[in-house]
Structure 1
Amino acid sequence: MWIKGMRPQTLPLALAPVLIGVAQSWMGVFEYSQGGGYDRHLPCPTFGGRPEAHGHYDDVHGACVTSMGWFLTVSVLCVCVALFLQIAVNYANDYSDGVKGADRGRTGALGGPDGNASGVGRAPSRLVASGVHPRRVLVAAGVSAALACVAGLAVTVLTGYWWLVLVGVACLLAGWFYVGGRHPYGYHGWAEVFVFVFFGLVATVGTQFALTDTVSLSGIWGGVNIGLVAVAVLTVNNLRDVDEDRLHGKRTWVVRLGERGGTVLLDVLLSLAAASALLFLLSGASWQNIAIGPDCGVWYPDGDLDHAVQVCDVWKYQLDVAMYWSSVVLLVLFAAMCVAAILTVHRRRFRMALPLCTLSSLVLAAMYWTLSFLR
């Protein structure tokens, strides 16, 4: 019951932006940003992040070599922060909406028949509305938030950027005041903005900055791309709950635009997400490199200038070809899932549309990963 109450179907939305942030980081950390061979750099300390370049290291583009263990540890911790924050927000929303009566119609056994077997009826049951004591749900939200804080503090210690604590506090406040407190912003039409910012930009570029000390245009692009998908998921939820939201004074964008306007909004969001992914694929020069062929050079055995041998990096070329066409396949799959989600929403089959949208975020993250091998 508690596992279903944490709404695991929403967790891909927490995981995808972190995966995109990692994808836009690893190549820069382990290849480009080092500015030369590993023998030209000191190893990074385990704690406190990467120090600034100084002394005889000023002439190279990178202060130290980041270990794979450090990189993987920070990446996993960022995943934990995102997942536990998402779970905490889900429990907190269950608690807040439950005590306000906004979930009054969502009773019954969690995950069981609740009038929604066809995918058209009410939303899945909630804990408080199903009879669980609100304080227990609030405690579950607090425990999840505490686990996110522990992981976030570990990231802060490993990177040395203590101001990241302020980012974590902002995430916690945004999660609580979504529907909690006296004036929840989710009831006044700001939820879509906050979801785009925190589930898109903050999660993606925050991960990239923690891993690389910088934010790239591709990282921001990925944050915008996944943010559009996150807002689309929220829009599907709001279309499903539009009547109850209107009854309880929850002025979402769908309530303000009306059901038809909300459906058009979803069409626009998913269309923009697919178009943004396509532009990102076309923005690189990877396809031009593939058309040119493998990178070749000249090798002189034993320094003999009369016997030049052409050497081509065929393996790297074959990997580039495989990653490029994998990216194309993933893009087509992502676009197909967006189209399918749009069609199911137009048919009011919201229970089918939600997993299509959430799982499409993982497909999008996979596309960014395959493209990261080409940049």
Structure 2
Amino acid sequence: MNFHAQSAVPSEKGWRIWWRLTRPHTLTAAFVPVLLGTVLAAKQYPLHWLLFASMLIASLLIQAATNMFNEYYDFARGLDTKHSVGIGGAIVRDGVKPGTVLGLGFAFLAVALLLGIYISANSSWWLAVIGLVCMAAGYFYTGGPIPIAYTPFGEITSGFFMGFVITQIAYFIQAGKIETISVLASIPISILIGSIMLANNIRDLDGDKKNGRKTVAILLGRKKAIQLLAAMFIVSYLIILALILFLSISPWLLITFASLPKAFSAVKGFIGKTEPIQMMPAMKATAQTNTIFGFLMAISFLISNLIK
């Protein structure tokens, strides 16, 4: 770490700069799928704690690295300024050198790679290939000549890799295979992770449009993008009902509906707002919906495991 850069702010705030750089509000999007996949597998298979811990840390590191690449490339392309709204800004507001941010991101990926080697050696080397693809997706989300985040595919990409793929890997390293339950259970989580990206793009719609981005929010317009966000929430809860009604999965899944107030607050918080600072509470509520929904979903399966 570049401790010289921290001297630009009071020392007691130094650790907070590095903590904010990881964008902690996004880290639950990496934690929840690992927890869910592991809990699902634990119903039928013995739990390998070291593999679980390694997978969890690797996922968190990849997510944090992705956030750092985002920080770096938004600065490099002139998108971040001292007046930008959001948790980012370690470079433009806190004096951290750009090279430090980029280097730390690659360092996190290096540690995740080492953990991936351990996981692959104790499960399947095919996971090494999948892990490298996930890392590449994290980098090219905002890096490279045509960043994924600048296209209409940001929500799909984040939901697929962070929600679906991570859940399947977490399940596979415990069970040794992928099964229908892990696939179906990952779908609402994937949708909700995608909703976090959509909420971010709704907030940044005007600025992104000026900088030539072609996000879903820009293509649809603010009103329809908010309607899409509401639809993503609705579909996620309908999937829960379908799992219970048609696949006889534990009715304990109904506790996920306790997250509904946050989803409602997220949609309501975007309606009629045009300034990014006004939409920050709605964006926070979107992330909290994913977190609460995911934790409750994992808890519901854990309860059903205990009373089987």
Q: TM-score range, shorter-chain basis?
A: 0.7 to 0.9
For residue 7 of structure 1, what is the aligned residue in structure 2? 23
1:138 maps onto 2:115 in alignment: no
1:228 maps onto 2:205 in alignment: no
Question: C-alpha distance in 1, partners of 2:82/2:204?
Answer: 11
Deviation at 1:239? 0.8
Question: C-alpha distance in 2, partners of 1:12/1:360?
Answer: 11
Question: C-alpha distance in 1, partners of 2:88/2:26?
Answer: 15
TM-score by length of 1: 0.71
- Residue 342 of structure 1 is aligned with which of 257, 267, 271? 267
Deviations 1:131-174 (A, max 9, x none): 42210110111111112112211111222x11211111101110
Question: C-alpha distance in 1, partners of 2:285/2:242?
Answer: 22
1:331 maps onto 2:256 in alignment: yes
Please tell me whether Structure 1 or Structure 2 has the larger radius of gyration of its CA atoms. 1
1:79 maps onto 2:56 in alignment: yes
1:29 maps onto 2:52 in alignment: no
For residue 148 of structure 1, what is the aligned residue in structure 2? 112
Question: C-alpha distance in 2, partners of 1:132/1:250?
Answer: 26
Task: Report the identity percentage.
Answer: 23
For residue 316 of structure 1, what is the aligned residue in structure 2? none
Question: C-alpha distance in 1, partners of 2:39/2:189?
Answer: 13
Deviation at 1:245? 0.5
Distance 1:286 1:102, change over 3 A: closer
User: Contact 2:20–2:87 at 8 Å: present in 1 too?
Assistant: no
Question: C-alpha distance in 2, partners of 1:75/1:229?
Answer: 23
SS at match of 1:28: coil
For residue 42 of structure 1, what is the aligned residue in structure 2? none
Aligned residues: 283
- Residue 89 of structure 1 is aligned with which of 49, 53, 66? 66
User: Contact 1:281–1:371 at 8 Å: present in 2 too?
Assistant: no
Question: C-alpha distance in 2, partners of 1:264/1:226?
Answer: 19
Deviations 1:295-318 (A, max 9, x none): xxxxxxxxxxxxxxxxxxxxxxxx
Question: C-alpha distance in 2, partners of 1:14/1:268?
Answer: 23
Deviation at 1:105? 5.3
For residue 119 of structure 1, what is the aligned residue in structure 2? none
Question: C-alpha distance in 1, partners of 2:50/2:82?
Answer: 43
For residue 179 of structure 1, what is the aligned residue in structure 2? 142
1:102 maps onto 2:66 in alignment: no
TM-score by length of 2: 0.85
Deviation at 1:238? 0.5
Counterpart AA for 1:23: V
Question: C-alpha distance in 2, partners of 1:255/1:201?
Answer: 25
More helix by share: 2
1:207 maps onto 2:136 in alignment: no
Counterpart AA for 1:262: A
Question: C-alpha distance in 1, partners of 2:181/2:61?
Answer: 26
Deviation at 1:266? 0.7
Distance 1:352 1:132, change over 3 A: same
SS at match of 1:25: helix
User: Contact 1:25–1:208 at 8 Å: present in 2 too?
Assistant: yes
Distance 1:277 1:334, change over 3 A: farther
Question: C-alpha distance in 1, partners of 2:192/2:249?
Answer: 25
Question: C-alpha distance in 2, partners of 1:254/1:138?
Answer: 28
Distance 1:82 1:368, change over 3 A: same
Range 350-359 or range 9-18, more displaced: 350-359
RMSD of equivalent CA atoms: 1.9
Deviation at 1:273? 1.2
Distance 1:29 1:259, change over 3 A: same
Question: C-alpha distance in 2, partners of 1:346/1:253?
Answer: 17
Deviations 1:170-204 (A, max 9, x none): 01110111111112122122212211210111011
- Residue 369 of structure 1 is aligned with which of 292, 295, 299? 299
Structure 1 gap segments, 5+ residues each: 31-67, 108-121, 288-323
